[in-house]
Chains A and B, each alone.
Chain A
Amino acid sequence: EAQVTQNPRYLITVTGKKLTVTCSQNMNHEYMSWYRQDPGLGLRQIYYSMNVEVTDKGDVPEGYKVSRKEKRNFPLILESPSPNQTSLYFCASSFRRGRQETQYFGPGTRLLVL
């Protein structure tokens, strides 16, 4: 089954304790992105990647890091989490055929930083 998977789905942590949220896709997509979703603010892009070893900042990259060492994986790293990073996080992947594109989202990771 074609899908984007994220782990963990739920995470409670404390301020300053480094964490990684993994994202993996089995569709051989070139493009991958991370978003956060907050009430009243909608979806905001954190980082995106256009291919292996190619990443770029989205609208809200502060406090986050990403890496794209393999095509299928795009982990999100919080080196020193803070309470304002409490949010619902989505990973997404997509591919393009000419000018047609479909973006697939993962199920989400709900993070609480105490």
Chain B
Amino acid sequence: GENVEQHPSTLSVQEGDSAVIKCTYSDSASNYFPWYKQELGKGPQLIIDIRSNVGEKKDQRIAVTLNKTAKHFSLHITETQPEDSAVYFCAASSGGGADGLTFGKGTHLIIQP
């Protein structure tokens, strides 16, 4: 089955700096890669996703890149703000959607004031 590795497990950055979280996947058939943000005491919230027919997608301060050859994808957050502090999860699926999502173990992002 699919295996998703996520790094780092904890990331501390100064407010205003950029943050990058990286994930690798094992199943070359995977074609859907969402990213979720989980705040304390809440369920994960989808923040951006990318499908295997594109290499990059942006939404304001958030961007995701995908390298199918290397089987890795990354989340980039620019101009970080205190409200970006949360746990971020990457995931991969070969079903084109939410059936059979495999998650990374999460990255705790800390924004230092």
Interface residues of A (CB under 8 A from B): 4, 31, 33, 35, 40-45, 48, 50, 56, 58-59, 90, 92, 94, 96, 99, 101-108
The verdict on B46 contacting chain A, using a C-beta distance below 8 Å, is yes
Q: Note all chain B residues with C-beta closer than 8 A to A58.
A: 100
Chain A residues with Cβ below 8 Å from B46 are 102-104
**B-side contacts of A96, CB under 8 Å:** 97
A92 to B97, CA, bound (A): 13
Q: Are B98 and A107 in contact (CB under 8 A)?
A: no
Sort chain B's interface into a size bin. Answer: 20 to 34
Q: Separation in Å of the B6 CB from the closest CB of chain A?
A: 8
A sample of 26 cross-chain residue pairs with beta-carbon separation below 8 angstroms, ordered by A number, consists of: A33-B101, A35-B103, A40-B105, A41-B105, A42-B6, A42-B103, A42-B104, A43-B44, A44-B103, A45-B100, A45-B101, A45-B102, A59-B102, A92-B43, A92-B98, A94-B97, A94-B98, A96-B97, A101-B49, A101-B98, A104-B46, A105-B44, A105-B45, A106-B43, A107-B42, A108-B43
